[in-house]
Amino acid sequence: MIPRLAAAPPPSVRVRAPGKVNLGLRVGPVGDDGYHPLATIFQAVSLFEEVTATQVTPGAGISLTVSGPQADAVPTDESNLAWRAAALLAERTGLAADVQLHITKGVPVAGGMAGGSADAAAALVACDALWEAGVPRPDLVELAAELGADVPFSLLGHTAVGTGRGDLLTPAMTRGEFHWCFATQREGLSTPTVFRRFDELAGPSTPRVAPADDTAIMHALRAGDPVALGKALHNDLEGPALDLRPELADVVEVATESGALGVVVSGSGPTVAALGRSRQHALALGAAWTAADVVDAVWCATGPAPGTQIVTPMRA
């Protein structure tokens, strides 16, 4: 009897994209278009989203599954940024939007660390490779900006200055490695709600912003000086986030009392980022948060981390 050969698995591509922390985030007055001009310094950190794109039969369309921490909080329909990324790439290249996407979560959900943006960046790269579309990286960056302000940085990674809505990027020179611990909460914070509270608190006196406002951060990065970086961390959205979620002040206080070099709300929150002296100190900061029972989870990571990259090339 001739043995039956097992069917070969369909072609697939696995891509990894990083989460981020805002080392500095300055917010200008809301414009007529409803958006706030930003001057921010992003750093990618070693918490990653992975997206696997798998070939499906023609006409099957897009499907999406999610696994990993907080997977049940992630939508699996066309509202998901990874789904939208695949659909946008197909539309712009004239290819059929047929793909199975699987997201493996590694970045906190709704925590101000751009996990959804990382999914979108990874989906763009994965689908481009799977469909052999050959879209140049600069064009992928332009598509990324259409999906969200943080998506281009997820493609670039490392450390960068962001202006405009945060999507106009200039790579920043850094030395060394920085050790972070992140405190997350089960209940997220809506980014539009935080910006509205910022407007209410700031009133008509909101100053204009420029990257030069954060020269202390840039100097610390170039020197590889975590002590100086900790002192310079800044986020204009921290006040509104703490106003909406006063309990986050306890998270900041515990990290400060535990010797963190600097503590800041990440993006629009509610994640709080603490900078440690070393990898061991970052772990100790997480232990202090857990012992104080002021967090739902802690995540330790290093930065800067690389941007979106293929980790398993297409296989047939």
The rounded distance, in Å, linking the Cα atoms of 273 and 20 is 10
Task: Please state which CATH number belongs to domain 12-172.
Answer: 3.30.230.10
- The string of pLDDT tens digits covering residues 214-229 is 899 999 999 999 999 9
114 is in an annotated binding site: yes
Task: Name the segment(s) of the chain with CATH classification 3.30.230.10.
Answer: 12-172
The rounded distance, in Å, linking the Cα atoms of 116 and 74 is 9
Task: Name the segment(s) of the chain with CATH classification 3.30.70.890.
Answer: 178-303
Q: Please state the pTM of the whole predicted model.
A: 0.91
Fold of 178-303: Alpha-Beta Plaits (3.30.70)
262 is in an annotated binding site: no
- The string of pLDDT tens digits covering residues 138-188 is 999 999 999 998 999 999 999 999 998 888 999 999 999 999 999 999 888
Distances 146 to 84, 86, 140, 150, 268 between C-alpha atoms, Å:
10, 13, 10, 10, 20
The rounded distance, in Å, linking the Cα atoms of 174 and 285 is 24
Tokens 């101000």, residue? 112
The whole-number average pLDDT for the span 187-204 is 88
What are φ and ψ of residue 99, in 5° steps? -165, 145
Residues with active-site annotation: 20, 150
117 is in an annotated binding site: yes
259 is in an annotated binding site: no
297 is in an annotated binding site: no
Strand order in the sheet with 297-303: 262-265, 272-276, 178-184, 297-303
The rounded distance, in Å, linking the Cα atoms of 214 and 168 is 16
